[in-house]
Amino acid sequence: MVACVLTLSWSVLTPAATFRDALGREVSLKSSPKRIVSMAPSLTEILYYLGLGERVVGVTQFSYFPPEAGQKPKVGSYINLNVEKIISLDPDLAVGTVDGNRPGVVKLLDQAGIPVYLVNPRSVRDAIKTVASLGRLCGARKKAEDLSYGLYRRMDRVFQKTVSLRHPVVFLQINIRPIMTVNRNTIHNDVIRLAGGVNLSRDEPMTYPTISVEEIIQRRPEVIIISSMERGGRFEAVKRRWLKWPDIPAAKTGRIYLVESDLLDRPSPRIVKGLEIMGRLIHPEVKWEE
């Protein structure tokens, strides 16, 4: 009994746990967080994936997956956050990304005494690790480890099936006009690599370079993937434009595909789904179903 009271008061007086985030900042939590603000759509997806949706009290503008996340109060867009709104939701934890959330916001939240945990996923593996680390942070360690192990297995399966095959050149178009793509420092590049392809623009100096049709013709991609939320007509139009260039192998063989951009842009559990789709598109010759 005495011991019980002692441990109780101990847990009240001292932080239950200290975590280190992607920037090496120490994040101390007094107890398992009950009111979480998610400062990026990918983090919202992870929290819901972990079954922590009920603890989420605020999300960013484009957090529409899963659909019920869209009902939560909005705290601005992830690059243009409303700090005042976040504070007024009285959170005991805010999770954000190093890339999107501006350093000033983190400083303001720090000053307001709100623990901020930042993640910086740059690969599929990082995204899966984020699932595990957010789970640990929120006291759902076991579940998070099981789920992330499952995701890891799915990732590895795609990788193992394609790693020894010839890697075709893949052009990933992330914006229709102007034509934009990604270099090696992106999670998209990692998806292409794991799916057994070579990213056509991996050596570009800019992270999201704008690239000319001329350049693409010269580099002869064998597969063109258009990552977009557009469906139907708009995609068909873009596809027709590529088909006009029979010098491009992908156009000659008609290997031009649309992939829902949320599955490739967001370092969330769904990126594994994106990876599986990409694997099938880049290597249709593989026997995928068992």
Partner 1 sequence: MGGIGSNIMPRTTIKRPLAPMKLIRISLILCLFLFLVIVFSLLLGTAKVSMNQLWCLFVGSPKANEMVKLIVFKIRLPRIVLAGITGFSLSLGGVVFQALLRNPLADPFILGVSSGGALGAVIGIILGLGFGLGIPLMSFAGALLAIYLVLVMGRRKIGMESSTILLAGVIINAFFTSIIMFFIATSANDRLHTMLFWLYGDLSQSLYSQSLVIGPVLFIGFIILFGLARHLNVITAGEETALHLGVNVERAKMICFLVVSLIIGLVVSFSGLIGFVGLIVPHLGRMAFGSDHRVLLPVSSLGGAVFLIAADTIARTVISPSELPVGVITAFIGAPFFVYLLKTRGSGWARS
Q: Which of 202, 208, 197, 204 has its CA nearest to residue 275?
A: 197
Q: Which of 19, 25, 99, 152 binds partner 1 (CB under 8 A)?
A: 99
Question: 4: which residues sit within 8 A by CB, 6+ positions away?
Answer: none
Q: Which of 25, 34, 35, 74 binds partner 1 (CB under 8 A)?
A: 74
| Least separation in angstroms between CB 71 and partner 1 | 15
| Least separation in angstroms between CB 274 and partner 1 | 23
- Lay out the site mask for partner 1 across 175-194 (x = CB under 8 A, - = otherwise): ----------x---------
Check binding of 14 to partner 1 (CB under 8 A): no
Q: Which of 51, 76, 150, 249 binds partner 1 (CB under 8 A)?
A: 76
Question: 246: which residues sit within 8 A by CB, 6+ positions away?
Answer: 252
220: left (phi over 0), alpha (psi -120 to 50) or beta: left
| Least separation in angstroms between CB 30 and partner 1 | 16
* Length of the chain, in residues: 290
Peptide bond into 178 cis (omega under 30): yes
Q: Which of 66, 104, 254, 284 binds partner 1 (CB under 8 A)?
A: 104
Residue with Cβ nearer partner 1 (180 or 243): 180
The piece of 24-32, 64-72, 84-92, 275-283 that touches partner 1 (CB under 8 A) is 84-92
In which element (H, E) is residue 20 found? strand 17-20
Check binding of 207 to partner 1 (CB under 8 A): yes
In DSSP notation, 221-238 reads: -SEEEEEES--THHHHHH
Task: Tally Cβ neighbours within 10 Å of residue 252.
Answer: 13
Residue with Cβ nearer partner 1 (207 or 218): 207
Q: Which of 83, 95, 118, 211 binds partner 1 (CB under 8 A)?
A: 83
147, 199 in Cβ contact below 8 A? no
Check binding of 75 to partner 1 (CB under 8 A): yes
Size of the site for partner 1 (CB under 8 A): 30
Check binding of 261 to partner 1 (CB under 8 A): no
Q: How many CA atoms lie within 13 A of 123 on its CB side?
A: 10
- Using CA atoms, how far apart are residues 128 and 126, in angstroms rounded to an integer? 5
Check binding of 212 to partner 1 (CB under 8 A): no
Q: What is the binding site for partner 1 (CB under 8 A)? A: 61, 73-77, 79-80, 82-85, 87-88, 90, 98-99, 102-105, 107-108, 111-113, 185, 205-207
